[in-house]
Structure 1
Amino acid sequence: MLLKEWKHIFTTKKILIPMIAVLLIPVLYAGMFLWAFWDPYEGLTDLPVAIVNLDEGADYNGEKVQVGEDLVEKLKESKDFDYHFVSKKEAYEGLETEKYYMVIELPQNFSENVTTVTADEPEQLSLKFVPNEGYNFLAGQIGQTGVKEIKSSIAANISEKYAEVLFESIEELGDGLATASEASVELSEGAGKVNDGGEKLTNGLSELSEGTNRFATGTNDLSSGASKLYQGTSELSKGLQEINEKYGELSNGINGIQTGSTDLKNGLHELSGGTDFLVKGLQEISKNTQTLASGAEAISTNAQSLASGMSQLDKSLQPMLEQLPPEQKAALQQSLSQLVNGTSMLAEKNSELAQGIGKLETGQQSALAGAEKVNAGATKLDDGSAKLAEGTNQLAAGSAKMQEALKQASEGSVALVDGSKQVSDGTNTLAEKTKDLTSGVAALYSGANELNDGTNKLLDGSKEFADKLKSSAEEASISVNENNYRMVGDPIKLEQDSYHEVPNYGTGFAPYFISLGLFVGALLISIVYPLKEAASTPTSGWSWFSSKWVTLFGVAVIQSIIVDAILLFGLRMEVQNVGLFVITTLLTSVTFMGLIQLLVTTLGDPGRFVAILILILQLVTSAGTFPLELIPEQLQWFNPLLPMTYSVSAFKSVISTASMDGLLHNSLILLMFTVITFIGTWVYFTFQTKKLQVKSAE
C-alpha cells in the first residue's frame, strides 16, 4: 500500500509538482528572510541621514574651538551612515518628504558649552537627534544606537581634551607661581640693598651740603677781603706816585707807609694762611666728590638693571596672571605696576643725581683752580709786602737811599696791584663757582631725598608683592563641584525630538503586520472557498465573475472590519484619521483578495504557490521592518512591483505621518492593482464561459 502511494505521487504530475513546491516553501521562506536580514547593519552606509551644523565656534584661552566643524570632518570620513551635510531647512524638508530617515543637529552653542567646564554651572553639549519614526520605526531605533556611538566618541575626545587642558593649566600655574615667588624674594632683597645705599647716600650728601655752605661763606668773606686788598694796593700805588711827585712831602708819608706796610704784611700773612686752608679743603672735597660720583654711577647702573629686571618680570608674569581669578589678578597687576613705576622713577632720579654730581665735580675743579690762583696771588702779595716793609724801613733809616727806595717801592706797588687784581679776580670766580657748587649740592641732596623715598616705596611694594605672590601660590586652586565632575564625565546631552513620533513598537510595526494579516487571510480563503467552480452553470462570464467577486468582497470587508475593531478598540491603537484608516484597511483587503483570486482562479494550486512566493518577497522588500536600503540590492528592485509596498506606506501615512499626499498616492496604486486583477479575472471567466458553451453545444 505504501509503495503504491509513493508510486502514485511520482507518476502523477498534478500531485508531484505541488508536493515539490510545498517542500521548497520552508527553504524559500527561511532562506529569503535570512538572506535579506542576515546583517542589515552592514547596509547602514546606504541609510541617508542629514547632518545640520549650526555651531558658531568659541574662543578658549586664546584658541579657536570648533567642535562642530571637527565632528563634521570626522563624519565625512565615517562609514556609519550615508551622511548628507545640509542646511536646517533642507534637512527638515527632506525629513518631511522621506528623503532622510533622521536629522542630527548641532546647535549654535555646541563649542561654546565646551569652554564652561571650569565654570560653577557648566553647560552640557546638546546633540539633537530627530528620527522620522513614522517613515520607518526601526530605522529610528537603529539611528538612535548610531547617535549614541557618535556621542560616546565625541565625549571621549572632549573629556581627553578637558583633562589635558586642565592638567597643563595646573602645572603651568604651579611653576609660574613658584618662579614668581622666588623672583619676588630676590626683588625684595635687592630693594633692601638699594634702600640701604640710598640712606647712606642721603647722609653723605647732607654732610656735603653743610660743608659747601660753610665753604660758600668763607669764599664770600675771602672775596670781600680781596676786594678791599685791591682797593688798598691801588691807593698805595697812587700814594707812592704822589710821593715820587711830591718828594717834599715824603717825611710825612713815610710814617703812614711804614704803618700801612706793616698792616698789609700782617693781612697778607693771614690771607696766605686762609688760602692754604681753602686749597686743602677743596682738595679734600675733590676726593669726596670723586668717591660720590663712583657711588652714584654704581647706583645708577644697579637702578637701571633693577628697572630692566622688573620689566622682564612683569612680562614673564603676564601669562600666569591670566590663569588667576580676576580679584587676585587685579591686585597683583596693581602691585606690579607700582614696582615698575618705582624702578623707572629710581632710574630717572639716579640719572639726575649723576648729572648733579657731574656739575658738582666740575664746579669743585673750577673752585680748586681759582683757589690755587688765589694762593699764588697771596704768595706774591706776601713777597711784595715784605719788600715794601723793607723799603720803608730803609727809607726811614736813611734818606740817602730814598730815591732808590721810592723807585723800588713804586715797582713793588705795581706788582702788588697786579697781584691784588689776580686775587680779586680769583676770589670773584671762586665765589661764582661756589654758588654753582652750592646749587648742585642742593639739587643733589633733593634728588637723594627723592631717591630715598622711591627706594622706600620700592621696598614696601616688593614686600607686598612677595606676600601676595606667596598667598596666591598657597591659595591658587581650581574650584570644582559635582556639576564640573558630571560635565567631564558626561559632556554631551542627547536630545531626541521625534518627527511623526510613534508611541510604541506595536504602532510602529502595525502597517507591516496588518498588510501581512490581510494577505494571509486572502490566501487562506482560496483554500476553504472554491474560487473557480460555480454553484450552477454560468450564463455569462460576468455573472460567473460577479458571483465569486461579490462573495470575496464580502469576506474582505468582514476581515477588514474585524482587524479595525481589534486594533482600535481592543489594542486602542491611535491613528491620525479613523475613517481613512478603515477605508485603507478595506482597500488593502480587497486588493489582496483580487490578486489571490486572479492567481488561484487562473493557475489553480500553482497560483497559490506563486502567491506564497509573492508573500515571501513582500515580507522582505516592503520596508515594513528594516529600511529598504538595508536589504541586499538584488531584492530591492522587487519593492515597487508588489502591492504590499504600497499598503505598508499607506498605513504609515494614515497611522503615523498624516501625509495625505502619500496616502492618496499609495491608495491609487492599490486601486490600480485591484482594477487590473478585476479585469484579468473577468476576462478569464469570460473565456471559460465560452468554452463551456462550445462544449455544451457539441
Structure 2
Amino acid sequence: MTAPQATGREPEQATGQATSQLGWHRVLDWRPGSPWARAAIVLLLVAPIAIAGTMMWAMWDPSKYLRNIELAVVNHDAGVKKRGEYTNYGDQVVEGLLKTDYLNFAEVSEQEAADGLTRGKYMLVVTIPEVFSQQATSLTSDNPVRPEINFAANDYYGTNASFITASLVPQVQTKVENAITKKYADQILAGMGRMSDGLTAAADGAGRLDEGVAKLQEGGGRAVEGIGKLDDGATQLADGATTLAAGTSRLGGGIGELSAGAGKLRDGAHELANGTDRLAAGTGQLADGAGQINAGVAELTGKLIPLLEQAQAIAPQLAQAENTLRAAGLHAQANQVADLRAKLDPASGTNMVSQLGRLRDGTAQLHYNLSDPSAPYLSGVLALQNGAHRLAEGTDTLGAGIGRLADGATQLDAGAHKLADGAGALSRGTGQLRAGGAELAGGIGKLKEGSGELSTKLAEGANKAPHIPHPDKSAEQMAVPINFTSTNLHPVQTVVSETDPTAKQITGGVSMLAVMVFGFLLMLLVALLLPYYFGRIPPRSALSVASAWLTKTAVNAALLLALAGISAAAGWSPHKWGLVIVALLATAAAATAVYQLFHVMFGRLAGGAFALGFYALGVMVFGGVWPILAVPAFLRAFHFVHPMTYAKDAFVVATDGLAGGFGAAAFWGPVGALVAFTIIALGISVAALRVRGRAAASVQ
C-alpha cells in the first residue's frame, strides 16, 4: 500500500514544480507592454543621469558668477600720522577692492554689513579694524604688530559657498597684501634714500674738511718757512754783531783815528740799542700771537681729535655700507664712502687725527721758541738786546777817546750795515710768518666748519636711516604682512585644532542641511512609501486625499522636529522656537502636498521619479546649499517657484530672530507661500482624482 500512495503524490509534486518554474519564467521574461510602462522605465533610467548632469552643470565653474555676487567691505581704520604725514592704509585697501572689476564690492557701514550678511544680501564681508594703519606702520617700531582683516560669511545662504570663496578669498588677500607690501617697500626705500642723502652730505662735509686741512698744512708750511728766514736773519745779525765787536776791539788802539766817526758811532750804537729793543718788543708781540695760535690750535684739536676718534668707530660700519652700496651697484657713492673711511681709519698714518696732532705739536714748538727765555731764538734776541745796550754804554764811555776809535769806527760801520741787513731779513721773515699765521687761522676756521658740518650730516644721516630694533619680528611681518581671520554666522563645521586644519567638528550651521536638505529627502521617501489616499472607497473625494495628506504631514512634521533636535544637539540655537515649529509645520504640509501631487498625477513609479527630480532641483536653486547667484540663470528662474526656497526663508528668519517689527513680513510671507503651495497642490490632486473617477464611471 505504500507504493501506490507514493505514486499518487508524484503528479501533484510535478504540477507544483511546473507552476513554480512557470512563475519565475514570467518574471524573468517580463517585457513592458504599455507605452506608460516603457516611458516609466526610460524615465527611471534617464532621471538620475539628467539630475547628475544638471548638478554638474550648475557647479561646473561658479567663479564666473563672481561679478553677480555682492560683497561688502567695512573700513573702521582711523589712519596714522607718521613723519608729519597722514596715511590711511584702510582707505587704500578699500580703493583697491572697489577697483577690482571681477569683484562686486561695496563699501558699507558695520550695521548695513551685519544686516546684509544675516539676510543673505552679502556672501562675504571684509572688515578692516580701527588700528589697521597703526599696526601696519609698526614694521620698524620696538613692537611690530601684524595688522588683521576679518572675513565673515554665513553658511545659511550657501553651505557650499566655500567652493567660491576658496578662489575669492585668496584674490582678496592678494589685493590687500600687495597694497601693504608696497607700503612696506616704500618705507624701506625711503629710509635708504634718506640714508644715501645723509652719506652724500657727510661726504661733502668730509671733502670740505679735507680742503681745510690742506690749506692748514699749506699755511703751516709757510709759517715754518717764515720762521726759517727769521732764523737766518738772526744769524746774520749775530755775525754782524761779532764783526762789530771785533771792530770795537780794534778801536782800543785807534781812538784817535775814530774821532771823526765817534759821533756817528754813538748815534749808531744808540740806534742799534733802540732797534734791539724794538726787536725784543716785536718778538714779545709775536710770542703773544703765537700763544694765541697755540691756544686756539690746542682748543680746536682738543675738540676735533675726540670727535674724530669717535667718528673712527664708524669706520667698520662705513666698510659695510661701502660693500652694501657696491652690491647695489652704487659705485660712485661707494667710492665716496671709501674716501671718507680712509680719512677716518686709525691704521692710516695720514688720518686726520695724526695730522691734527702734528699741527698741535708744531704750533706749541713755535710758541716755545718765541716765548721761553731759555729757547734758542728768544735767548739770542735777549742776548743781542743786552749786548746792544752795553755797546751804547761803551760808546758813551768812549766819548773821551773818540780819536783812538776812528779806525774801529769804519769796521763798526761795516758791521752795522751787516747788522742792518740781517735785521731786514729778520723783519721780512717775521712778516712772512705773520702772513702764514693768518693763512693758518683761515685754514683752521675752514677745518672747524667742515668738521662741524661732517658731524651734523653724519648725525642727520643716522637719524634718517631706517632703524629696525627687532629684525626678526619685522622680517616675519614683511613675509606675512596681514593676519586674516574668518568668522561665520552659522558655520556647518569648524576647525578644532590649531595645528591640524583637517580636524573639524560639526556645529549649529548643519541645521540647514539637516532640516532642509535631509528633511525634504526623508519626506520624499515617506511620499514614496505611503499611498496618496486611504480607505477602500475610490479616491474621488477630498476626504480620501486629505486623510492621506494629514497622516503623512504628521509623519513628516515628526521627522523635521527630530532633525531639528539633532541640529540643536550639534549647537543650533534658534531665537524663536515657536516660529521654528510653525515654519517646520508649514514646510511639512507643503512638501507632503507637492509630493502627493506628483504621486496622484503620474503614479507611484513615474511620480516618484518626478518627485526626485523636483527635490534635486530644489537643492540646487533654494539657496541654502549653493548661493543662488552662483547658479546658471536658467536654474535661477526656479528659485521663486520652489517650496524649499520659502521653507528656507522662514527657517532662517525664525533662527536669527528677525520676525519682530519689519521682520514679521520676512517670516509670515514665506509661511504664506508654503500655505499657498499646500492649498494649490491639494486642490489639483483632488480635481485630478475626481476627473479620473468620472471617467472610470462613464466607462462602466
Distance between the aligned counterparts of 1:673 and 1:157, measured in 2?
52
Amino acid at match of 2:122: Y
Distance between the aligned counterparts of 2:55 and 2:607, measured in 1?
22
Look up the SS of the partner of 2:205 in the other structure. helix
Contact 2:123–2:154 (CA under 8 A) maintained in structure 1: yes
Alpha carbons of structure 1 residues 451 and 667: separation in structure 2 relative to 1, 3 Å = farther
Alpha carbons of structure 1 residues 126 and 474: separation in structure 2 relative to 1, 3 Å = closer
Contact 1:568–1:574 (CA under 8 A) maintained in structure 2: yes
Alpha carbons of structure 1 residues 672 and 451: separation in structure 2 relative to 1, 3 Å = farther
Which of 129, 132, 145 is residue 154 of structure 2 equivalent to? 132
Distance between the aligned counterparts of 1:546 and 1:659, measured in 2?
31
Partner of 1:266: none
Contact 2:75–2:94 (CA under 8 A) maintained in structure 1: yes
CA shift at 1:48, angstroms? 0.6
Partner of 2:596: 597
Partner of 1:514: 515
Contact 2:32–2:38 (CA under 8 A) maintained in structure 1: yes
Contact 1:66–1:111 (CA under 8 A) maintained in structure 2: yes
Alpha carbons of structure 1 residues 4 and 192: separation in structure 2 relative to 1, 3 Å = same
Alpha carbons of structure 1 residues 108 and 454: separation in structure 2 relative to 1, 3 Å = farther
Identical aligned residues as a percent: 23
Q: Is 636-645 or 649-658 further displaced after alignment?
A: 649-658
Alpha carbons of structure 1 residues 542 and 637: separation in structure 2 relative to 1, 3 Å = closer
Alpha carbons of structure 1 residues 97 and 585: separation in structure 2 relative to 1, 3 Å = closer
Amino acid at match of 1:479: I
Which of 15, 30, 37 is residue 15 of structure 1 equivalent to? 37
Partner of 1:563: 563
Which of 657, 668, 673 is residue 669 of structure 1 equivalent to? 673
Distance between the aligned counterparts of 1:158 and 1:74, measured in 2?
11
Amino acid at match of 2:641: L
Structure 1 segments unaligned to the other structure (5+ residues) = 205-269, 282-447
Distance between the aligned counterparts of 1:70 and 1:144, measured in 2?
24
Distance between the aligned counterparts of 2:61 and 2:672, measured in 1?
34
CA shift at 1:199, angstroms? 13
CA shift at 1:687, angstroms? 5.0
Distance between the aligned counterparts of 1:99 and 1:457, measured in 2?
77
Partner of 1:547: 547
Superposed CA offset, 1:106-144 (max 9, x none)? 345544544332211234333232323443344367437
Look up the SS of the partner of 1:535 in the other structure. coil
In the alignment, does 2:549 pair up with 1:530? Answer: no
Partner of 2:16: none
CA shift at 1:631, angstroms? 1.0
Amino acid at match of 1:638: F
Matches within 5 A, 1:132-171: 132-139=154-161, 142-143=164-165, 146-156=168-178, 158-159=180-181, 161-163=183-185, 165-167=187-189, 169-170=191-192
Contact 1:559–1:589 (CA under 8 A) maintained in structure 2: no
Distance between the aligned counterparts of 1:686 and 1:680, measured in 2?
10
In the alignment, does 2:667 pair up with 1:678? Answer: no
Query: RMSD across aligned C-alpha pairs, in angstroms?
Result: 5.6
Superposed CA offset, 1:547-574 (max 9, x none)? 33333233233333433444445x5644
TM-score in terms of structure 2 length: 0.56
Distance between the aligned counterparts of 1:530 and 1:501, measured in 2?
38
In the alignment, does 2:474 pair up with 1:484? Answer: yes
Partner of 2:126: 104
Matches within 5 A, 1:170-185: 170=192, 173=195, 176-177=198-199, 180-181=202-203, 183-184=205-206
Superposed CA offset, 1:644-687 (max 9, x none)? 11122333333456556333332221122112223333444555
Distance between the aligned counterparts of 2:693 and 2:34, measured in 1?
28
In the alignment, does 2:209 pair up with 1:187? Answer: yes
Alpha carbons of structure 1 residues 33 and 501: separation in structure 2 relative to 1, 3 Å = closer
Aligned residues: 482
Amino acid at match of 1:599: F
Amino acid at match of 2:72: A
Partner of 2:644: 644
Look up the SS of the partner of 1:518 in the other structure. helix
Partner of 1:121: 143
Distance between the aligned counterparts of 1:642 and 1:503, measured in 2?
27
Superposed CA offset, 1:407-446 (max 9, x none)? xxxxxxxxxxxxxxxxxxxxxxxxxxxxxxxxxxxxxxxx
CA shift at 1:490, angstroms? 1.5
Distance between the aligned counterparts of 2:180 and 2:566, measured in 1?
51
**Greater share of helix residues, 1 or 2?**
1
Alpha carbons of structure 1 residues 60 and 90: separation in structure 2 relative to 1, 3 Å = same
Matches within 5 A, 1:244-283: none
CA shift at 1:627, angstroms? 0.4
Alpha carbons of structure 1 residues 190 and 35: separation in structure 2 relative to 1, 3 Å = same
Contact 1:114–1:124 (CA under 8 A) maintained in structure 2: yes
CA shift at 1:494, angstroms? 1.9
Look up the SS of the partner of 2:67 in the other structure. helix
Matches within 5 A, 1:54-93: 54-55=76-77, 65=87, 67-93=89-115
Amino acid at match of 2:649: S
